[in-house]
């Protein structure tokens, strides 16, 4: 368990419908970097349960800036 994990409050994330018009700017470069790091962890993970959680996290983070249509286009470009 991470040292910081026990120090974080349970509701440490911002609610999606906070009623505020303020929003956080998330760049595609940041998302690409985080997804790449998670994919590295996934490749090194032996536990199927942990791997599934990491894959879900990578998918969720990826969807913050990319749509399913863009993902399909990227997959086709990689295959070519």
The dihedral built from the CA positions of residue 62, 67, 72 and 75, taken in this order, carries a sign that is negative
Does residue 40 or residue 6 have the better pLDDT? 40
Window from 3-7, 22-26, 66-70 with minimum mean pLDDT = 3-7
Give tens-digit pLDDT for 9-53. 454 555 555 555 678 899 999 999 999 999 999 999 999 999 999
3-state secondary structure 7-57: HCCCCCCCCCCCCCCCCCCCCHHHHHHHHHHHHHHHHHCCCHHHHHHHHHH
**Domain extents in the chain:** 24-79
Are 57 and 36 in contact by the 8 Å Cβ rule? The answer is no
Please give the pLDDT value at position 68: 65
Closest CA to 32 of 55, 70, 57, 61: 61
Q: Quick one: pLDDT band at residue 7, thresholds 50, 70, 90? A: very low
Distance CA 56, CA 63 (A): 11
Please give the pLDDT value at position 69: 62
């Amino acid at each position: 368990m991470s040292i910081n994990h026990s120090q974080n409050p349970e509701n440490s994330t911002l609610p999606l419908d906070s009623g505020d018009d303020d929003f956080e700017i998330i760049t595609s470069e940041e998302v690409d970097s985080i997804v790449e790091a998670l994919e590295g962890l996934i490749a090194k993970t032996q536990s199927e349960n942990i791997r599934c959680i990491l894959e879900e996290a990578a998918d969720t983070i990826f969807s913050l800036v990319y749509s399913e249509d863009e993902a399909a286009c990227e997959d086709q470009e990689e295959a070519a």
